[in-house]
Structure 1
Amino acid sequence: MKINPLTDIKNADSSNFFLMAGPCAIEGETMALQIAEKIVAITDKLNIPYIFKGSYRKANRSRLDSFTGIGDEKALKILNKVGQTFGIPTVTDIHESGEASIAAEYVDVLQIPAFLCRQTNLLVAAAETGKVINIKKGQFLSASSMSFAVDKVKESGNDQVILTDRGNTFGYQDLIVDYRNIPEMQSFGVPVVMDCTHSLQQPNQTSGVTGGKPQLIETISKAAIAVGADGLFIETHPDPATAKSDGANMLNLDLLEDLLAKLVRIREATL
């Protein structure tokens, strides 16, 4: 039976981080269940609290002909089935205020995309659902600026907030991770997550398809755990080359267990 994700995190062994992981987009029921089953087995083995991630719709696309989803209701029902089948919390991103109450019927955590983290109406609508709210830090913002996003949710009557860093943009077509952001955002009294895959994106390529550097996922995640991140966000897929969205920066699912085992050892060594 599922419980509140933040309660699960707080009750977990203090030596462990928590994990948000899954495909970039929900491509189908079979795929989602297979990915969840494998990650549940890994995280149970390593005693890592786990939240399944999948976007029911991709609203931020470079090109008009990019994949956006299999249909909102269909994808949301799949997310709900994943949660019910494995007894795990689920998270998906929302893009407009009207989506908050709809998505909240199916998932446990509502995620605010980085480009939308300043949208007051969206944050308030998400807060009013009573769900846990994961706010991704805008690539264009400092860590200190995210205190206002946290305040908007809390002042709307919801103190269940997570912040996720996904790098900063300092130029064209690349992102840089500033690990000072993790302790600075933790000072707001909320768990802080490092997005280890989107922080390696190379957006706005001339092809209109976002690139990435997945070979550095281990580097980003190791550094985040060493710094003291409360959780990690990792998009993963059995075959990233055929993924319908963000395949260029996703982790191959077969590499996840070895990576997480290394990260658990790093966390234990830093306590």
Structure 2
Amino acid sequence: MIKFFRKIRKNLLRKNKFSKYLLYAIGEIILVVIGILIALQINNWNENRKGRIQELSSMKEVVENLKYDMVRCDNNINKNATVIKGLDSLRTSISNAIDGNDQATDIYYYALKYGIDYNKAVLNRAAYEELINSGSIKAIDNRTLVQQLSDYYQRIAFTVPEFRPKTGYENMQTSRKKFISFKGLEPFLQSFDTINKVSFSVDYDFKDIQQMEHLKLLQPHELALTDYYNDIAQFQIDLKTYIFYMSWVKEAANDLILDIKKEYQLTDTIE
């Protein structure tokens, strides 16, 4: 092809047809420019295609992370709801003790089973953090979706789980220590704090302590019992608020999944 064009140029120059040669040269330059532009367009198309494939892959990971968040929120809601219900029984036992009934074994049982900790939600930000750190989020054309991602991860999925009923929980524990004696319950006392720090599960049972004899409350002063009762009630309110927040996170995650699937035409169903 190059030899063909070179031959044409030589023939035009040999015949002194300079004007035609000039037009030919201009045409050849235009053809070269067009070729370069086509090559650039093809290259851009390939890069955009690769970028879209990577973006699609990242969004699939975000969807999986969001599904994980929904599962974690469900677990959090269910376990904390069980704690709230168990603490209702603890309050009933304390109320009976205030009225003069011996509820020592029940108070030990419910305090150890349902008053040792609460379930904390840990959500998955890995895919979103990768989008941010790699700068890939800037390539997403749908800026509304980018804002939704930011809103979820920077506000809902980050700030909301930070609300934890820690203060209410610590107040409840402080009140408990004022009057519950662990004398004779060394194995339970030794494991009490480790259960809090390692892994909390309401499946852990303490029923055998109800079979122990001579369990007595340590000076069950009515005022101390009342303080404990009130601190438990406040902790339950905090837990209910925490559950409400987790429900909000779950709903927001579900909405974001639907928006991502619509934008990227993902057809797999949400489990």
TM-score w.r.t. length of structure 2:
0.18
Higher relative contact order (CA 8 A, sep 6+): 2
Structure with the largest fraction of strand:
1
More helix by percentage: 2
TM-score, normalization by structure 1: 0.18
